[in-house]
């Protein structure tokens, strides 16, 4: 559970209403992984591995197939 500002919640609701193949979990996974990609660095082996994991989650959330 996380609290988000009301304006952000309303924007999320409107987005989900117009994009039926997305759900709240998918949006949050994409947003969080993109944030980590943009703000992380791959300077150490561990950081590089984490960066690749975040990239994988981000791309999977963007390109996953809609439920059948």
pLDDT digits (tens, 9 = 90+) for 25-56: 999 999 999 998 888 776 788 888 888 899 99
In a domain, 1, yes or no: no
Range of the domain at 65: 24-68
Q: Which residues of 7-33 are buried (b: 16+ CB within 10 A; e: fewer)?
A: eeeeebeeeeeeeeebeeebeebbeeb
Predicted model pTM: 0.76
In a domain, 64, yes or no: yes
Q: What are the residues whose beta carbons fall under 8 Å from the beta carbon of 27, sequence distance 6 or more?
A: 12, 15, 16
- Whether residue 28 contacts residue 1, with contact meaning beta carbons closer than 8 Å, is answered with no
In a domain, 59, yes or no: yes
In a domain, 36, yes or no: yes
In a domain, 9, yes or no: no
In a domain, 7, yes or no: no
In a domain, 3, yes or no: no
In a domain, 53, yes or no: yes
* Total domain count, the chain: 1
Distance CA 10, CA 52 (A): 32
pLDDT tens digits along 4-14: 999 999 999 99
């Amino acid at each position: 559970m996380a609290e988000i500002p009301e304006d952000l919640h309303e924007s999320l609701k409107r987005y989900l209403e117009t994009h039926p193949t997305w759900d709240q979990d998918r949006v949050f996974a994409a947003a969080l992984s993109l944030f980590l990609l943009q703000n992380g660095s791959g300077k150490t082996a561990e950081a590089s591995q984490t960066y690749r994991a975040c990239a994988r989650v981000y791309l999977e959330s963007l390109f996953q197939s809609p439920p059948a």
